[in-house]
């Protein structure tokens, strides 16, 4: 009976080590994701603290305001839709570049 008990104990210890390793890996992955999000938030804050960004935003709002008065709203909406599509296409280019982990050597996108 002690042999079976010892084998069961070894199996449980192995399962515990494997589960602990998986949890640590998941936490490390979540930490990497959180770091990437925090970096993006910091970059956005830097952009928003720039007076040039505020000036460009104000100028853009002024142009849109004048355009809405002089041109039909439909054409302004078309231009807005085009700007939105261009912005959505540019988002992947603004993402953080691919990093390589020291342990695996596989590409990991942030």
- Calculate mean pLDDT across residues 60-81: 76
Q: How far is CA 91 from CA 3, 85, 88, 105, in A?
A: 60, 10, 5, 26
The rounded percent of the chain whose pLDDT value lies above 70 is 79
Q: What is the mean pLDDT of the chain?
A: 79
What per-residue confidence (pLDDT) applies to 104?
52
Question: Looking at the domain assignment, is residue 103 inside a domain?
Answer: no
Quote the tokens at residue 51: 């007076």
Domain boundary among 16, 33, 49: 49
Higher pLDDT: 11 or 110? It is: 11
What per-residue confidence (pLDDT) applies to 97?
60
Question: Looking at the domain assignment, is residue 22 inside a domain?
Answer: yes
Q: Give the Cα separation of 97 and 59 in Å (integer).
A: 31
**Boundaries of domain holding 40:** 1-49
Q: Are 101 and 90 in contact (CB under 8 A)?
A: no
What per-residue confidence (pLDDT) applies to 32?
86
């Amino acid at each position: 009976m002690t042999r079976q008990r010892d084998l069961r104990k070894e199996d449980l210890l192995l399962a515990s080590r494997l589960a602990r390793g998986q949890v640590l890996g998941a936490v490390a992955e979540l930490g990497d994701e959180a770091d990437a999000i925090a970096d993006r938030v910091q970059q956005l804050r830097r952009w928003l603290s720039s007076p040039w960004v505020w000036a460009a935003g104000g100028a853009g709002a002024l142009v849109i305001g004048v355009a809405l008065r002089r041109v039909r709203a439909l054409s302004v909406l078309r231009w807005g839709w085009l700007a939105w599509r261009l912005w959505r296409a540019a988002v992947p280019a603004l993402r953080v570049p691919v990093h390589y982990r020291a342990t695996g050597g596989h590409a990991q996108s942030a």
